């Protein structure tokens, strides 16, 4: 080898070595800087240097409990990533979410895009555009402009009762258990599609997962939540190759099929021969939603409105059926009040124990557990005397908040509806303010809160007045997994006819 070649090779090797050293040094410096700026906030050791803690725990089935344990161990504000904190403190959360907050949605919300190239009301990070979208949809979600809103929900409650009577009534000689985990979601899917664009999907009528929507959504949840931890993946999904792998409105099943239905239904509301209907979609369009916006927001309704309300139904029902004292008191109130059948929403709101049961169900098992992190504003913030640098992301620990003993007392892990009936006025205000955070708060409060509460106000009364229900196997009551929202099935219940209510 010529001397010049040796010199060139040596120089090249030196260059490569220096380049690698520079990369390692830069990465190390970046990690040390990230650790240093939040060194005063405790958390799992490796979370200060890497996202691996978040990736590992998001990839499991119990992220809600992992976040709670972090707050229990390290305090109401704890570190779970190089630039990410999580809090279970209701006062800090209200400051972050208030109408006049300077906090902004973080890149966590990029994972909420159903189309990686287009935002919706859940993913929109531009505050002005987000407020515009909410304003266009507020009247529809409130129900003020949805003709026969409560009547439509009544029809779906009746369909759920009818399904149990047709196929799942057990007797001493005939055992017919029902999977309430699935039936609850059939119900919420039918409700949201019924009030959104006029007709239910038909899950209850067919007793099936129409278009395999539930199955495909559950299969895709791990990928969606992983994007929330690694937001750069959201941009990668906009590439033509990866985008071709995402659901399409041409798909025969799954989310793609629902996209196709939404596109078809929305298309009928625009153009020369447009259809005008007094449903939620009609309200959205009347207030200025464009055709593409209407397609996107209709999908969001279905995704956000069915899974979460179904979880609230399942979890509350589980706690009712496994607490004989609560079960008997609620049944006694139903007998005593003898409300209409189906019960009217206004009647349900006048049943104090029912309302306490619903509130306690939402408290002890909040259905939305994603971090939903916000960016600390310019100039930073402080919490309990500790500075939080600007740009830091602070997420929400749903189960940390719901079991916070400073708010709920030493029996925070106990399902006790009486805490809503026996609290002092000041304590009740504190509890109500903390419970409000389950539905978001301030500028980011859940638009579907009113509809979800109407569903909950009706379904427990109608099922318990018609049927005597019990959990088949109290030792394994359900198959419940958490990936920001819950997937729950195999919640086997035995239903027998109740003749004396």
The pLDDT score that the predictor gives to residue 241 is 63
Query: Rounded to whole angstroms, how far apart are CA atoms 129 and 446?
Result: 17
Confidence of residue 26 (pLDDT cuts 50, 70, 90): low
Span 238-295, pLDDT tens digits: 666 666 667 788 888 888 888 888 889 999 999 888 889 888 999 999 999 999 999 9
Span 383-435, pLDDT tens digits: 999 899 999 999 999 999 999 999 999 999 999 999 999 999 999 999 999 99
Query: Rounded to whole angstroms, how far apart are CA atoms 180 and 100?
Result: 41
Q: How large is the average pLDDT for residues 50-74?
A: 92
pLDDT reading at 29 higher than 60? no
Query: Rounded to whole angstroms, how far apart are CA atoms 161 and 479?
Result: 23
- Residue whose C-alpha is closest to residue 298's, from 447, 145, 196, 194: 196
Q: What's this model's pTM, rounded to 2 decimal places?
A: 0.92
CA geometry: angle at 201 spanning 205 and 489, to 5°?
75
Query: Rounded to whole angstroms, how far apart are CA atoms 58 and 227?
Result: 10
- Residue whose C-alpha is closest to residue 354's, from 368, 373, 372, 335: 335
Confidence of residue 21 (pLDDT cuts 50, 70, 90): low
Q: Is 203 annotated as a binding residue?
A: no
Q: How large is the average pLDDT for residues 125-143?
A: 93
pLDDT reading at 1 higher than 70? no
On whether the CB atoms of residues 279 and 146 are closer than 8 A, the answer is yes
The pLDDT score that the predictor gives to residue 271 is 81
Q: How large is the average pLDDT for residues 177-193?
A: 97
The pLDDT score that the predictor gives to residue 7 is 54
Span 326-380, pLDDT tens digits: 999 999 999 999 889 999 999 999 999 999 999 999 999 999 999 999 999 999 9
Confidence of residue 207 (pLDDT cuts 50, 70, 90): very high
The pLDDT score that the predictor gives to residue 169 is 98
At what angle are helices 324-337 and 449-466 packed, to 10 degrees? Answer: 90
Q: How large is the average pLDDT for residues 225-237?
A: 78
Instruction: Work out the mean pLDDT of the chain and round it to a whole number.
Output: 90
Which residues in 363-484 belong to E strands, given as ranges?
Answer: 374-375, 381-383, 386-388, 393-396, 467-471, 479-482
Retrieve residue 285's tokens: 């369009």
The pLDDT score that the predictor gives to residue 174 is 96
- 499 vs 298, more confident: 298
Helix (H, G, I), strand (E, B) or coil at 374: strand
Backbone angles phi, psi at 130, to 5 degrees: -65, -45
Sign of CA dihedral 144, 145, 151, 154: negative
Q: How large is the average pLDDT for residues 205-231?
A: 88
pLDDT reading at 17 higher than 80? no
The pLDDT score that the predictor gives to residue 34 is 63
CA geometry: angle at 216 spanning 210 and 219, to 5°?
150
Retrieve residue 96's tokens: 């972050």
Tracing tokens 């994603």 back to the chain, one arrives at 370
- 278 vs 184, more confident: 184
The pLDDT score that the predictor gives to residue 404 is 96
pLDDT reading at 16 higher than 80? no
Reported residue count of the chain is 501
- 146 vs 477, more confident: 477
pLDDT reading at 27 higher than 50? no
Q: Which of 20-24, 114-118, 361-365, 485-489 has the highest mean pLDDT?
A: 361-365
């Amino acid at each position: 080898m010529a001397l010049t070649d040796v010199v060139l090779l040596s120089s090249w090797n030196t260059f490569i070595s220096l380049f690698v050293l520079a990369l390692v040094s830069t990465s190390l410096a970046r990690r040390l800087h990230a650790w240093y700026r939040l060194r005063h906030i405790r958390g799992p050791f490796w979370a200060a240097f890497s996202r691996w803690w978040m990736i590992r725990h998001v990839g499991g089935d119990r992220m809600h409990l992992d976040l709670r344990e972090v707050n229990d161990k390290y305090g109401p504000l704890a570190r779970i990533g190089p630039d990410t904190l999580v809090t279970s403190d209701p006062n800090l959360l209200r400051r972050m979410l208030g109408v006049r907050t300077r906090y902004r949605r973080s890149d966590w919300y990029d994972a909420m895009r159903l189309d990686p190239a287009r935002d919706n009301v859940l993913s929109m990070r531009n505050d002005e555009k987000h407020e515009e979208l909410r304003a266009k949809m507020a009247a529809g979600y409130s129900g003020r402009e949805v003709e026969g809103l409560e009547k439509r929900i009544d029809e779906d409650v009746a369909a759920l009762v009818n399904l149990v009577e047709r196929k799942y009534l057990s007797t001493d000689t005939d055992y017919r258990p029902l999977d309430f985990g699935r039936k609850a979601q059939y119900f919420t899917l039918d409700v949201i599609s019924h009030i959104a664009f006029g007709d239910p999907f038909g899950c209850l009528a067919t007793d099936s997962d129409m278009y395999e929507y539930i199955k495909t959504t559950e299969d895709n949840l791990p990928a969606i939540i992983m994007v929330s931890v690694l937001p750069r993946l959201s941009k990668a999904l906009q590439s033509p190759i990866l985008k071709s792998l995402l659901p399409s409105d041409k798909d025969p099943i799954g989310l793609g099929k629902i996209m196709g239905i939404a596109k078809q239904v929305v298309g009928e509301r625009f153009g020369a021969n447009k259809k005008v209907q007094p449903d939620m979609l009609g309200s959205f369009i009347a207030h200025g939603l464009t055709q593409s916006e209407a397609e996107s927001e209709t999908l969001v309704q279905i995704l956000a409105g069915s899974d979460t309300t179904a979880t609230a139904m399942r979890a509350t029902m589980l706690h009712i059926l496994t607490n004989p004292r609560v079960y008997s008191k609620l049944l006694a109130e139903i007998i005593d009040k003898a409300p209409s059948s189906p019960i009217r929403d206004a009647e349900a709101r006048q049943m104090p124990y029912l309302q306490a049961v619903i509130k306690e169900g939402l408290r002890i098992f909040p259905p939305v557990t994603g971090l939903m992190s916000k960016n600390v504003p310019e100039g930073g913030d402080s919490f309990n005397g500790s500075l939080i640098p600007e740009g830091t992301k602070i997420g929400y620990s749903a189960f940390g908040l719901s079991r916070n003993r400073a708010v709920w007392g030493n029996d925070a892990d106990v399902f006790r509806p009486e805490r809503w009936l026996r609290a002092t006025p000041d304590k009740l205000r504190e509890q109500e303010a903390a419970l409000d955070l389950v539905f978001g708060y301030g500028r980011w409060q859940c638009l579907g809160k009113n509809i979800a509460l109407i569903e909950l106000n009706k379904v427990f009364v109608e099922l318990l007045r018609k049927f005597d229900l019990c959990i088949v196997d109290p030792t394994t009551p359900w198959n419940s997994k958490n990936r920001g929202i819950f997937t729950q099935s195999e919640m086997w219940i035995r239903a027998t006819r109740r003749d004396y209510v």
